[in-house]
């Protein structure tokens, strides 16, 4: 399969190898050879079907007091986060061939710049030239062969995050690099040899404009990308982009549509037409991101804010829409899971100033409290075989994944690591748990805010260490609710960016 993908990329690349300079490519405005002295002329193409960039460049190096390489770029200002999976195509010629992200003050070969780069021998480093004609400096990261490269600008500070796909980021940074507000931002390839073209393939390319410090949480929002993630490969595809907040996509059991919330309404999103349509929910129009579809696909549980009843209230409505039926008498109550027989809903409820997991008949009735530990318990979800309810709990210090029997007995911890882990979702085949992880350096254990650096991680239901399957700027609303495809091969989620990110 890998060989076939390589052949397809090579064919697509050589079909456009004579592309002219200054042609737009994907989300970028242009591409060119920087430095001007290369014997071999570089080229670049974007493959819409796979959302990949294939870039070929020559040049003596990106180093010393000047650079020569092929650059695919756009102009940007302010703060931003750059993310890509970068791979070399073909066997290496020189240890110091390079692929990566670069931010430059100008397109001159001697321009000040910062780059996050992987070398041909696996060296992974943060490189920078402070002023024009100055010597390039380097921070070597303690990992090698990193194919996940992220570069963030925060004022005059530049932060590099790098990982081998599946692992957590290693982080380095440099401060005091003044490139001006307006900069060139893009992907680059250099061969370290003016007579040789080297080629890099960049996948999952994302540019996110982060939330400004002035943003008021839960009142102001960034734009949203609805993405589909192929679990086996990590390949991501943006299927819909909106300038407002979209949250918590559920995948319908028929595999043809998603359900999500936006601005208090519930939308059904057709995967074939890529068009959303409002789902009728009567007078219940203050819906949040805690909604969940029954296993048989016939009913939808909603959570909708009702201030006079104490906050979020749970309702049920046919999946085709209708007038919702109120299930919980008081709030806050946040729906998360249906029992496999459709007779019960498990939810997070605050009662007596404590958040716990409760179960309630899906037609309404007496609530049954399932957890009693001090601290937040949240995100309950039944396994497809009905044997367990998975949830997340802060009882051990950090937020971790737990599970219990449907009657609340035999509560046991599933994850035990250095991150805050939320919202376990069990694949329809029962083999996998997907969940979102927040960084303790950014987020308190009992909080899951919008607009943070998060991981989507995967682990076997039989145990073992989690692996990263997506590196995301998101958080609240990314995967709050069950989001697996019916065939257990993909996950729907939301990433976020300000309107200048250009992820289209």
Q: Identify the CATH number of the domain in which residue 309 sits.
A: 2.120.10.30
Q: Is 196 in the same domain as 307?
A: no
How many independent structural domains does the chain possess?
A: 2
On whether residue 503 sits in a domain, the answer given is no
On whether residue 216 sits in a domain, the answer given is no
Residue 39 binned pLDDT confidence (cut-offs 50, 70, 90): confident
Give CA–CA dist 220/225, Å, rounded. 17
On whether residue 218 sits in a domain, the answer given is no
On whether residue 239 sits in a domain, the answer given is yes
pLDDT digits (tens, 9 = 90+) for 271-324: 999 999 999 999 999 999 999 999 999 999 999 999 999 999 999 999 999 999
On whether residue 94 sits in a domain, the answer given is yes
Q: Is 195 in the same domain as 328?
A: no
Which residues on adjacent β-strands are paired with residue 305? 312
Average pLDDT, the chain: 94
pLDDT of residue 502: 64
| Contact (Cβ atoms closer than 8 angstroms) between residue 409 and residue 403 | no
pLDDT digits (tens, 9 = 90+) for 69-86: 999 999 999 999 999 999
461 pLDDT above the threshold of 90: yes
Q: Is 168 in the same domain as 298?
A: no
The vertex-383 CA angle with 381 and 384, nearest 5°, equals: 125
Range 39-59 average pLDDT: 94
| Contact (Cβ atoms closer than 8 angstroms) between residue 376 and residue 393 | yes
DSSP state of 12: H
pLDDT of residue 353: 92
pLDDT digits (tens, 9 = 90+) for 167-181: 999 999 999 999 999
Range 126-135 average pLDDT: 98
Q: Is 200 in the same domain as 277?
A: no
Instruction: Say which residues have a Cβ less than 8 Å from residue 290's Cβ, sequence separation at least 6.
Output: 248, 303, 312, 334, 335, 336, 347, 348, 480, 481
Q: Is 27 in the same domain as 174?
A: yes
DSSP state of 41: P
CATH of the domain at 145: 2.60.120.200
**332: cis peptide before it, omega within 30°?**
yes
Neighbours of 132 (CB within 10 A): 15
Q: Is 229 in the same domain as 203?
A: no
Residue 36 binned pLDDT confidence (cut-offs 50, 70, 90): confident
Residue 419 binned pLDDT confidence (cut-offs 50, 70, 90): very high
The vertex-326 CA angle with 321 and 328, nearest 5°, equals: 135
Q: Is 177 in the same domain as 38?
A: yes
What sections of 312-452 are H helices per DSSP? none
On whether residue 502 sits in a domain, the answer given is no
pLDDT of residue 500: 60
What range defines the domain where residue 84 resides? 2-208
Range 258-274 average pLDDT: 98
Q: Is 24 in the same domain as 125?
A: yes
Give CA–CA dist 164/255, Å, rounded. 31
Give CA–CA dist 437/12, Å, rounded. 36
Q: Is 172 in the same domain as 312?
A: no
| Contact (Cβ atoms closer than 8 angstroms) between residue 176 and residue 153 | no
Range 384-394 average pLDDT: 98
Q: Is 194 in the same domain as 282?
A: no
Range 8-20 average pLDDT: 41
| Stated pTM of the model | 0.94
Dig out the tokens for 58 from the structure: 């020559």
Q: Is 190 in the same domain as 327?
A: no
Count of all residues that appear for the chain in the document: 504
pLDDT of residue 503: 73
**CA-atom Rg of the chain in angstroms:** 24
Q: Is 182 in the same domain as 295?
A: no
On whether residue 316 sits in a domain, the answer given is yes
- Range with the lowest mean pLDDT among 7-16, 110-119, 450-459? 7-16
CA 86, chain centre distance (Å): 16
Neighbours of 76 (CB within 10 A): 22
Give CA–CA dist 29/183, Å, rounded. 13
């Amino acid at each position: 399969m890998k060989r076939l993908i390589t052949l397809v990329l090579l064919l697509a690349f050589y079909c456009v190898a004579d592309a002219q300079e200054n042609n737009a490519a994907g989300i970028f405005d242009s591409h060119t050879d920087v430095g001007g002295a290369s014997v071999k002329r570089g080229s670049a193409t974007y493959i819409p079907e796979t959302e990949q960039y294939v870039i070929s460049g020559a040049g003596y190096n990106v180093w010393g007091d000047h650079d020569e390489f092929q650059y695919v770029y756009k102009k940007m200002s302010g703060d931003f986060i750059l993310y890509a999976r970068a791979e070399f195509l073909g066997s290496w010629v020189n240890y110091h061939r390079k692929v990566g992200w670069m931010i430059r003050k100008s397109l001159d070969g001697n321009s000040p710049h910062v780059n996050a780069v992987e070398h041909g021998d696996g060296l992974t480093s943060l490189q920078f030239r402070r002023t024009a004609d100055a010597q390039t400096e380097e921070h070597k990261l303690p990992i090698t062969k990193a194919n996940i490269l992220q570069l963030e600008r925060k004022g005059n500070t530049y932060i590099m995050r790098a990982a081998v796909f599946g692992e957590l980021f290693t982080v380095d940074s440099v401060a005091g690099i003044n490139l001006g507000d307006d900069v060139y931002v893009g992907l680059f390839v250099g061969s370290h040899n003016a007579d040789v073209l080297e080629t890099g393939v960049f996948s999952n390319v994302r540019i996110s404009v982060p939330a400004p410090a002035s943003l008021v949480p839960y009142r102001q929002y960034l734009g949203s990308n609805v993405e589909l993630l192929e679990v086996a490969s990590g390949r991501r595809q943006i299927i819909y982009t909106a300038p407002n907040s979209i949250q918590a996509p559920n995948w319908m059991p028929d595999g043809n549509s998603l359900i999500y919330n936006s601005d208090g309404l519930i939308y059904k999103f057709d995967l074939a037409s890529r068009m959303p349509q409002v789902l009728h929910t009567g007078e219940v129009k203050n819906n949040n991101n805690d909604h969940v579809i029954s296993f048989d696909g016939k009913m939808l549980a909603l959570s909708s804010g009702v201030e006079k009843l104490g906050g979020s209230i749970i309702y049920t409505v046919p999946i085709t829409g209708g007038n919702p039926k109120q299930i919980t008498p008081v709030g806050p109550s946040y729906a998360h899971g249906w029992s496999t027989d459709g007779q019960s809903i498990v939810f997070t409820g605050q009662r007596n100033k404590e958040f716990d997991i409760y179960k309630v008949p899906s037609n309404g009735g007496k609530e049954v409290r399932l957890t009693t530990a001090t601290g937040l318990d949240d995100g309950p979800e039944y396994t497809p075989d009905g044997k367990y309810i998975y949830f997340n709990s802060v009882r051990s210090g950090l937020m971790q994944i737990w599970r219990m029997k449907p009657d609340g007995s035999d509560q046991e911890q599933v994850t035990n690591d250095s991150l805050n882990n939320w919202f376990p979702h069990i694949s329809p085949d029962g083999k996998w748990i997907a969940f979102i992880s927040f960084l303790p350096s950014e987020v308190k254990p009992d909080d899951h805010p919008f607009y943070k650096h998060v991981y989507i991680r995967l682990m076997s239901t039989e145990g073992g260490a989690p692996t990263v399957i997506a590196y995301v700027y998101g958080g609240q609303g990314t995967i709050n609710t069950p989001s697996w495809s019916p065939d257990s091969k993909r996950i729907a989620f939301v990433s976020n960016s300000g309107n200048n990110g250009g992820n289209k």
